[in-house]
Amino acid sequence: MFLRLANEHREFVKDLVMSLQALATVLERRGYEAACYTCGEQMNSANFMVSLAENHLIRFLVSDYGITWTELRDDRELMKLEGAEAISQLQELADLLKVQLHSDAHILIG
């Protein structure tokens, strides 16, 4: 049972890292300064960062040891979340991006 759980956790982290890489790419294309750094080819950790505005930075770290969301403004930590709360906050960021893309599409079509 524990080996199965360990393998599922590794796959979860790998999926999360791939999603962070994709999110960073989309954000870069939208004009944000964004990056996702990984260590090695195993996709077992990532450091995702995006600058939402001047002096407003989001950092999302994922590894076998944990998951954290840190929001900084003017080099001060505003919020730090871990685990499921961190992933929920990341989903909110992705949802905001979807809303922006949808509204931009309406402007182009309309």
Phi, psi (deg, nearest 5) at residue 13: -60, -45
How many C-beta atoms lie closer than 10 Å to residue 24's C-beta?
A: 21
Q: What is the pLDDT of residue 81?
A: 97
Instruction: With a cut of 70, list the residues of the chain below it in pLDDT.
Output: 101-110
Return the ∠ at Cα 98 (arms to 87 and 41), rounded to 5°: 50
Domain ranges of the chain: 2-109
* Rounded Cα gap, residues 9 and 27, in angstroms: 27
pLDDT of amino acid 61: 96
